[in-house]
Amino acid sequence: MRVYFDHHATTPLDPAVLAAMLPHLGERFGNPSSVQHVFGQEARAAVDQARERVASLIGAGAEEIIFTSGATESDNLAIRGIGRALAGRGRHVVSTAIEHPAVLEPCRTLEREGFDVTRVGVSPEGLVDPADVVAALRPDTVLVSLIAANNEVGTIQPVAEVGAVCRERGILFHSDAVQAVGRIPVNVDAWKVDVMSLSAHKMYGPKGVGALYLRKDRRPRVRPQPQAEGGGQEKGLRSGTLNVPGIVGFGEAARVAKQALAGGEAERIRALRDRLLAELITRIDGVEMNGALEPRLPGNAHISIARAEAETLILSLGGTIALSSGAACAEAGGKGSHVLRAMGLPDDRVFTALRFGLGRYNTEPEVDVVVEALARAVKATRERSAPAAS
Ligand code: PLP
């Protein structure tokens, strides 16, 4: 039996998404820029509808959505593009210690270009304190970037509070909301974000397509410096022929997600996650939660299991149970997750950390299978690493 509990890494395509995409991989192959003929017109109409649907999921207007190749590109366009465009006004950016590399790296690039970047820390619970963001602001701050829901520990950050302060001070506010959109209600007005990154493949859509939300009446009304220049698609902010099948899939995924959220999907997934946690704690001794239980993404559980190294455990599960070790980040270079480090966790917690990401198609029997398999694997791992008797 294969069980997929790694929905922070990616999600399976919803069957409705696949069905919506297929015609656009076949007979509906037109280029949405070629609006002189019906082939192009059909493609344009499909893209327009997808734009409406993605916008509607986050309470935005269709004209505020720029399609990209994924959230990595969206984050880069936001951070580098806005930083460079505003460099004449100020060269200070505020972000946090628990961002995804798609934000961390462009911040480093800006530093090499002469910017200062302040990385606000987090509590041991994995939460940013808005007061720390306020304290980091300077007269030359041009951009604040805060991850909405962390991709490791799943903690949901105080986006609306930080947004309010940025709005008051006239500072542009970006949020990487990749892990939040489609999983919890997200509304760009309630959150007071000016710029937001989204990715289709984290919400049962296809890989290689994402979006940047760009508020129409943002202040200052800066135009991000484009990373890809060419034919001027997406208002010149992202040139290149649009990935029509991907965008159509993204739109359908957004439509389905909106419906699923209204229909109680988050509550169902939260109940599964709570069952998983309760059973793990009952069956295995030495289980500790990492990060605050609330506010947290409903499908996320993040634990450390004493005396059971995560990599070894995952290997001993034989590859059929998809989990992630909190420490297996290529970027970390063996030092362990920068997120867990920022939370102040010691080595033994960092290297025994497991991330579970539950999603739309998971079931109670799957939870039970995973708990059983993990309990056995922990026992075996501990027996192997225990000093031999006598
Ligand atoms: N930001 C966060 C928080 C993520 O979890 C991810 C995906 O892992 C990304 C950005 C990058 O998204 P994409 O795979 O669409 O480039």
Relative to the CA of 208, which ligand 1 atom is closest? 15
Contact 178 CB / ligand 1 (< 6 Å): yes
CA 87 to chain centre: 27
CA of 383 to the centre of ligand 1 (A): 37
* Binding site membership of 130 for ligand 1 (Cβ less than 6 Å): no
pLDDT for 333 equals: 60
Give residue 123's pLDDT: 98
- Residue 390 CB coordination number (10 Å): 3
Average pLDDT estimate for 124-129: 98
pLDDT at 1: 85
Most ligand 1 atoms within 8 A of CB, residue of 7, 159, 199, 207 to mutate = 199
Q: What percent of the chain has pLDDT over 70?
A: 97
What's the whole-number average pLDDT of the chain? 96
The mean per-residue pLDDT over the stretch 22-45 comes to 97
What domains are defined for the chain?
A: 15-260 (3.40.640.10), 264-381 (3.90.1150.10)
Determine the Cα–Cα distance for residues 162 and 159; give it in Å rounded to an integer: 5
Give this prediction's pTM. 0.97
Residue 206, ligand 1, Cβ within 6 A:
no
Counting other chains too, the contacts that 237-240 makes at CB distance below 8 Å and 24 or more residues apart are 237/66, 237/77, 237/81, 237/212, 238/66, 238/67, 238/68, 238/73, 238/77, 238/212
Number of the ligand 1 atom closest to the C-alpha atom of 99: 3
Pairwise CA distance, residues 359 & 314, whole Å: 19
Share of the chain above pLDDT 90, in %: 94
For ligand 1, is residue 340 a contact (CB within 6 Å)? no
Distance CA 128, CA 134 (A): 11
Contact 249, 242 (CB under 8 A): no
Lowest mean pLDDT among 132-136, 204-208, 324-328: 324-328
The 8-class DSSP code of residue 4 comes to E
Distances (CA, A) of 246 to 51, 107, 251: 12, 28, 9
Q: Which of 146-150, 221-225, 243-247, 382-386 has the lowest mean pLDDT?
A: 382-386
CA of 200 to the centre of ligand 1 (A): 10
Q: Which residues contact 188 (CB under 8 A, 6 or more apart)?
A: 58, 59, 60, 64, 196, 213, 215
Over the Cα atoms of the chain, what is R_g?
Answer: 22
Window from 71-75, 333-337, 347-351, 354-358 with minimum mean pLDDT: 333-337
The alpha carbon of 174 and the centre of ligand 1 are apart by a number of angstroms equal to: 15
Residue 329 is among the residues annotated as catalytic for this protein: yes
pLDDT band at 331 (very low <50, low <70, confident <90, very high): very low
**Surface-to-core class of residue 351, CB atoms within 10 Å of its CB (0-12 exposed, 13-18 middle, 19+ buried):** buried
pLDDT tens by residue, 150-195? 999 999 999 999 999 999 999 999 999 999 999 999 999 999 999 9
pLDDT tens digits for 271-293? 999 999 999 999 999 999 999 99
pLDDT score recorded for residue 390: 45
Residue 249 main-chain phi, psi, to 5 deg: -65, -40
Set 212, 269, 329, 350: catalytic member? 329
Mutate to test the pocket of ligand 1, among 7, 147, 150, 178 (most ligand atoms within 8 A of CB): 178
Please, what is the angle between helix 244-262 and helix 38-57, to 10°?
30
Q: What is the pLDDT of residues 101-122, one digit of tens each?
A: 999 999 999 999 999 999 999 9
Lookup result for tokens 């499908």: 299
Predicted local confidence at residue 387, as pLDDT: 66
What separation in Å is there between the alpha carbon of 212 and the centre of ligand 1?
12
CA-to-CA distance for 7 and 381, rounded, in angstroms? 25
Centre of ligand 1 to C-alpha 359, Å, is 17
Average pLDDT over residues 132-138: 98
Cα angle 198, 177, 81 (rounded to 5 degrees) comes to: 65
Find the 385 Cα to ligand 1 centroid distance in Å.
35
Q: Containing H/E element for 44? A: helix 38-57
Helix spans in 113-232 (H): 130-136, 159-169, 188-191
* Beta strands 141-147; 172-176: pairing state: parallel
Report which protein residue has its CA nearest ligand 1's atom 8.
Answer: 9
In whole angstroms, what is the distance from residue 322 CA to residue 312 CA? Answer: 14
Residue 329 confidence (pLDDT): 47
Buried/exposed code over 23-50 (b: 16+ C-beta within 10 A; e: otherwise): ebeeebebebeeeeeebeebbbebbebb
The atom number, within ligand 1, closest to the CA of 150 reads: 3
Q: What's residue 198's pLDDT?
A: 98
How many other CB atoms sit within 10 Å of the CB of residue 235? 11
- pLDDT band with cut points at 50, 70 and 90 for residue 366: very high
Q: Which atom of ligand 1 is nearest to the CA of 200?
A: 15
Please indicate whether residue 151, judged by its CB atom, sits closer than 6 Å to ligand 1.
yes
pLDDT at 330 over 70: no
**Is the Cβ atom of 210 under 6 angstroms away from ligand 1?**
yes
pLDDT, position 386: 76
Residue 286: left if φ>0, alpha if ψ -120 to 50, beta else—which one? left
